């Protein structure tokens, strides 16, 4: 596959991810506000804020991988190296891998919340970004920040 086709596929996958994460079909307001971080960020493709919360700004990071490979029985095959998984794990905020099946425009998401002994090669189909799973993702990230959020109380630069 040439670099141009690979880049085009990746960009299409990112746009498909944005459409999936901002789906309004079942909601009165957008649940998420994604920001593409561009090519300069080696591990993370998106910074995503939760909408509708005023006490604090919960967020998470996403790496998007796009494939044209067929969907198998219960998984979408994607490839992410052990190093990329480890770097996602080291971020002290919720991090996810989004697998985009470009032909069907379906998006699947997998949390990176354990140190990976190897790379990831598939995402279960039950983690598709449906309206139900978008709400679960929203609550999961919101709960994380409600539990762990704390602003530093002191700084040299105060």
Q: Is residue 154 situated within a structural domain?
A: no
Taking only the tens place, the pLDDT of each residue in 132-151 is 999 999 999 999 999 877 77
Taking only the tens place, the pLDDT of each residue in 116-128 is 788 888 999 999 9
Q: Is residue 94 situated within a structural domain?
A: yes
Q: Is residue 157 situated within a structural domain?
A: no
Q: Is residue 13 situated within a structural domain?
A: yes
**Domain residue limits at 117:** 3-148
Task: Give the burial string for 37-63 (b: 16+ CB within 10 Å, else e).
Answer: eeeeeebbbbbbebeeeeeeebbbbbb
User: Kind of pairing, strands 59-67 and 95-101?
Assistant: parallel
Task: Give the phi and the psi of residue 19 in degrees, each rounded to 5.
Answer: -65, -40
Q: Is residue 155 situated within a structural domain?
A: no
In the chain, the DSSP E strands lie at 32-36, 46-50, 59-67, 75-80, 95-101, 106-111, 120-124
What 3-state DSSP class applies to 100?
strand
Instruction: Supply the CATH number for residue 135's domain.
Output: 3.40.1350.10
Q: Is residue 153 situated within a structural domain?
A: no
Q: Is residue 105 situated within a structural domain?
A: yes
Q: Is residue 66 situated within a structural domain?
A: yes
On whether the CB atoms of residues 87 and 106 are closer than 8 A, the answer is no
Taking only the tens place, the pLDDT of each residue in 19-54 is 999 988 888 889 999 999 987 788 999 999 999 998
Question: How many structural domains comprise the chain?
Answer: 1
């Amino acid at each position: 596959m040439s670099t141009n086709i690979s880049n085009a596929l990746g960009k299409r996958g990112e746009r498909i991810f944005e459409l999936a994460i901002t789906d309004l079909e079942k909601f009165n307001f957008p649940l998420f506000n994604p920001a593409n971080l561009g090519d300069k960020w080696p591990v993370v493709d998106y910074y995503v804020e939760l909408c509708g919360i005023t006490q604090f700004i919960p967020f998470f990071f996403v790496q998007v991988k796009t494939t044209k490979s067929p969907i198998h029985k219960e998984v979408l095959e994607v490839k992410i190296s052990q190093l990329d998984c480890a770097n996602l794990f080291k971020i002290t905020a919720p991090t996810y891998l989004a697998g985009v099946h470009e032909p069907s425009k379906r998006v699947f998401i997998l949390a990176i919340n354990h140190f990976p002994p190897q790379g990831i090669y598939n995402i279960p189909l039950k983690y598709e970004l449906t309206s139900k799973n978008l709400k679960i993702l929203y609550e999961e990230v919101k709960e994380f920040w409600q539990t762990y959020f704390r602003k530093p109380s002191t700084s040299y630069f105060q």
